[in-house]
Structure 1
C-alpha cells in the first residue's frame, strides 16, 4: 500500500497519546485509501479500512480510560464492553461512517448503581469527545453511549431488550435489529455474548416475533422499477443519481441479518452471516454465492459515493452521482438489485414458512 504500510499505520495509532495526534493519522490514511478507491476497489481494501477504524476506536477508549484515571476517577470499577452497532458492528464501515455505539457494564456488590452510572457516564463522554476530534459524526438517531438507553448494566440491557420483544411496535423492533449487529470493540466480549445469547434464545422460543422483525426488515425498497430500470433521485443536487445506501446496501444487509437471526447465528458481518448460512446448509451454495456477489457490488458502489467534510466531520449522503453511473456500473448495479429483490422474496417466504411450521 502506498505512502504507509498497514503495520506502520497501526503502530502509529497504538503509540498515539493524544486524540489530535490520531486525527492527523486518520486524515492521512483517509486520503491514502481514497486514492485506492478511485482506481480499484477490492474487498481487502474494505477490510483494511475497518481494521483502521477498529484500531482508532480502541485506542480512543483506552485514552479515555487513562484520562479518567489521571483526573482521579480511578480505573473502571467493573468489567465493561464498549460496543459498536450499525456498520461498525458489522465491520462494514466506509471511510466516512458515523458513530453508532453503546456501553454495557457488569453489576457490582461493592459499588452503588449511582457510582457506576457516574463513572460510565463520564467515560462515555470522554470517548465520544475523542471520536468527535477524530472526525466521527454522532449517530443522527442518538444510538450512542452518551444516551443512557445505550449505556447501562447487562441486567438492565437484558430487561430493556425483553421489553422490546414483548411490545414489538415499529420503534422497538428497530432497536432490536440494531442490537442484533452489536460487536464488542473494547473490553469484555463475554457481556456481549450473554446479551446476544438471550436475544437468539427468545427468538427461538417465540418464533412469532419474527413476523414483526420481517416487517421492519422489508421496509427499505430496492431501487429498481417494475420494468427493470434504475430508480434515480428526481430533485436536488443528487438528481439523476442512485441511493446506494438505502436502495441497495441496506436491503441486502437487512435480509441476510434476519435469516441469520432465524438460524440462531451470532456473527454480525454480512459476509460471515452468508458463509455460516451456507455452512449450516440453511441456504444453497448457489444462493450464497449470488448474495455474496451482490453484496460485494453494493459495498464497492457505496465506497464510491462522494463524501464531504462538515464541521471537520466526514459525512456522505450515500448516493452515486449521475456521472458515476457508467454503462458498466449500471449493468452491475442492476444485477445486484435484481438479486436483492429475489433475496427479499426469499426472506419473506422463509420467515412465513418458519412461523407456520412452529405453529403446527
Structure 2
C-alpha cells in the first residue's frame, strides 16, 4: 500500500515537471519517453521516503540536439519536484538529471555493453541498481522496446546474469 502511495506521488512529480517545461516554453516532450525508478523504489520496497534513484529513456528524434536538451531539462525538473516532495538527491548521482542516467534506447544499449565489458566495482554497483528498474511513467510501447533491448543486451553480453 505504501508503494502505491509513493508511486502516485512520484508520478505526480513527473507530470509537474513536464508541465513546468511547457510553461517555460519548451513545449511537450518531442518524442515518447519512459521514466523508471530503480533500487529500493524499483523493487517496491520503500517504507520511508528514501533518496532518488531513477532514469529516463526516450526515442531518438529527428533533431537529436533538441531532444537531448529537452530531456536534460526534464531530468532537472523531475529531481527538483521529487526533492520538494521529500526525496533527497542520490549521493551516488543515480538520477535522470545526470547525463549517464538518461538517453535514447541506443544510448542505453551502448551503456549496457560498456558495463558488461568492464566489470569494475563501480560498474557492478551501477548494474545492480539499474536491474531493479520499474517504469512508473511513460509510453508502454517504448517500455516494451526498452525491456526487449535490455534482455537482448544481457543475453549478448554473456557476463551479466539476471533472473
Counterpart Cα distance in 2 of 1:196 and 1:73: 28
What residue in structure 2 maps to residue 83 of structure 1?
36
1:73 is paired with a residue of what secondary structure? coil
2:96 equivalent to 1:170: no
- How far off its partner does 1:121 sit? 1.2
Counterpart Cα distance in 1 of 2:104 and 2:154: 22
The structure-2 alpha-carbon separation of the partners of 1:69 and 1:203, relative to structure 1 and needing over 3 Å to count, comes to closer
The runs of 5 or more residues in structure 2 that have no matched partner are none
What residue in structure 1 maps to residue 71 of structure 2?
120
- How far off its partner does 1:183 sit? 1.0
The runs of 5 or more residues in structure 1 that have no matched partner are 1-47, 214-260, 263-360
Select the structure that is richer in helix: 1
Counterpart Cα distance in 1 of 2:143 and 2:126: 16
Instruction: Give the number of the structure with larger relative contact order, counting CA–CA contacts within 8 Å between residues 6 or more apart.
Output: 2
What residue in structure 2 maps to residue 71 of structure 1?
24
User: Considering only aligned residues, what root-mean-square deviation do their CA atoms show, in Å?
Assistant: 1.7
- How far off its partner does 1:97 sit? 1.4
What residue in structure 1 maps to residue 59 of structure 2?
106
C-alpha contact (below 8 Å) 1:180/1:196 kept by paired residues: no
- How far off its partner does 1:198 sit? 3.2
TM superposition score normalised by structure 1: 0.43
Counterpart Cα distance in 1 of 2:59 and 2:19: 20
2:154 equivalent to 1:154: no
Select 2:45's aligned residue among 77, 89, 92: 92
TM superposition score normalised by structure 2: 0.91
What residue in structure 2 maps to residue 139 of structure 1?
90
2:139 equivalent to 1:196: no
